Amino acid sequence: MTFRRKRTAILISGRGSNMRALIERARSPSFPAEIVLVVSNLPEAAGLIFAKENNIACAVVDHKIYPGREEFERSMQVLLELHRIELICLAGFMRMLTPWFIGQWQERLLNIHPALLPAYRGVKTHERALADGVKVHGCTVHFVVPAMDEGPIIAQAAVAVRDSDTPDTLASRVLAEEHALYPAALGRVAEGRLRVEGNRVYFGEPTTVPPPLRVPPAQ
Which residues have a catalytic role annotated? 113
- The upper half-sphere exposure of residue 217, i.e. CA atoms within 13 Å in the direction of its Cβ, equals 1
AA identity, residue 169? T
Q: Residue 60, class by beta-carbon neighbours within 10 Å (0-12 exposed, 13-18 middle, 19+ buried)?
A: middle
Closest CA to 56 of 13, 12, 17, 23: 23
Distance between CA atoms of residues 216 and 135, nearest Å: 11
What three-state secondary structure class fits 180? helix
Residue 38: DSSP 8-state: E
AA identity, residue 144? V
Distance between CA atoms of residues 86 and 37, nearest Å: 11
Cβ-based neighbour number of residue 78 at 10 Å: 10
Helix (H) or strand (E) segment spanning residue 46: none
AA identity, residue 155? A
Sign of CA dihedral 80, 83, 87, 90: negative
